[in-house]
């Protein structure tokens, strides 16, 4: 049990999971890293109060959830007017499709994901594009593509219908394609 309460063990065993969870929620790698660091500091301060009624991972995730909530509370004190309007219904699909439903400009295939992701410049541009998505679209995209959740898990986790999940994922992909085309492929 003493080894389980070792901070280095927490970082080795749960660091990647905590970072992925935080990134899924905040969509910014620097903020996600800060959230994990704050979580570990809080856990260090409270490790003598850990009762063992849950797993260490569950305990750390609970602390992380509180840190994320605190982050959004601080952030919500300043709200842009655009954030108050749900613009999902205002998406202009005419940018992508003709009246017949065919593509105006069919998306080109992307380079190999492995080679592209290894390039720091691509990661930076992808992060910027991902941050430009609406919150729910980014959450659904990350849940599906990064965390490899299936549609049933996504619908249950986000309390949405299958159709809504599909639409959000589709719109996220289209927006990412457009952004990556502008900032990466056509540069």
Half-sphere exposure of 10 (CA within 13 A, CB side): 23
Q: What is the mean pLDDT of residues 40-59?
A: 87
User: What does the alpha-carbon distance between residue 96 and residue 106 come to, in Å, rounded to a whole number?
Assistant: 8
Predicted pLDDT at 12: 87
% of the chain surpassing 90 pLDDT:
20
Q: Cβ-count burial of 68 within 10 angstroms (0-12 exposed, 13-18 middle, 19+ buried)?
A: buried
Those residues whose C-beta lies under 8 Å from the C-beta of residue 133, and which sit 6 or more positions away, are: 27, 141, 172, 175, 176
Across the chain, mean pLDDT equals 81
Judged by DSSP in three states, 159 sits in coil
Copy the structure tokens of residue 94.
Answer: 């005419």
Please give the model's pTM, rounded to 2 decimal places: 0.44
User: What does the alpha-carbon distance between residue 174 and residue 172 come to, in Å, rounded to a whole number?
Assistant: 5
Please report where in the chains the tokens 């954030």 appear, as a residue: 83
* 3-76 is classed CATH 1.10.1740.10: yes
Predicted pLDDT at 64: 92
Q: What is the mean pLDDT of residues 53-77?
A: 86
Please state the domain extents for the chain: 3-76, 85-185
Name which residue leads in pLDDT, 52 or 152. Answer: 152
Residues 172, 133: contact at Cβ < 8 Å?
A: yes
What ranges in the chain are assigned the alpha helix state H?
Answer: 7-26, 29-46, 56-76, 113-117, 120-131, 135-141, 151-158, 162-180
User: What does the alpha-carbon distance between residue 120 and residue 118 come to, in Å, rounded to a whole number?
Assistant: 6
Name which residue leads in pLDDT, 124 or 134. Answer: 134
Predicted pLDDT at 1: 45
Predicted pLDDT at 164: 92
Name which residue leads in pLDDT, 136 or 80. Answer: 136
Predicted pLDDT at 70: 85
Q: Fold for domain 85-185?
A: Arc Repressor Mutant, subunit A (1.10.10)
Residues 176-187 pLDDT 10s: 999 988 887 776
Residues 13-39 pLDDT 10s: 888 889 988 998 888 889 999 999 999
User: What does the alpha-carbon distance between residue 64 and residue 58 come to, in Å, rounded to a whole number?
Assistant: 10
Residues 80-119 pLDDT 10s: 545 544 555 445 566 677 777 777 777 776 666 666 555 6
Predicted pLDDT at 10: 86
């Amino acid at each position: 049990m003493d080894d389980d309460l070792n901070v280095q063990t927490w970082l080795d065993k749960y660091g990647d999971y905590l970072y992925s969870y935080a990134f899924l929620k905040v969509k910014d790698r620097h903020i996600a890293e800060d959230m994990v660091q704050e979580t570990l500091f809080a856990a260090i301060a409270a490790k003598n109060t850990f009762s063992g009624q849950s797993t260490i991972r569950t305990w750390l995730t609970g602390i992380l959830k509180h840190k994320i909530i605190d982050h959004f509370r601080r952030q919500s004190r300043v709200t842009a007017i655009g954030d108050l309007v749900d613009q999902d219904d205002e998406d202009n699909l005419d940018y992508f499709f003709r009246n017949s439903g065919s593509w105006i400009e069919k998306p080109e295939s992307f380079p190999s994901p492995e080679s592209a992701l290894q390039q720091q410049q691509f990661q930076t541009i992808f992060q910027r594009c991902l941050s430009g998505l609406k919150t729910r679209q980014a959450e659904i995209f990350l849940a599906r593509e990064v965390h490899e959740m299936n549609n049933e898990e996504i619908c249950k986790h986000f309390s949405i219908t299958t159709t809504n999940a599909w639409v959000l994922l589709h719109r996220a992909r289209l927006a990412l394609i457009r952004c990556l085309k502008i900032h990466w492929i056509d540069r």
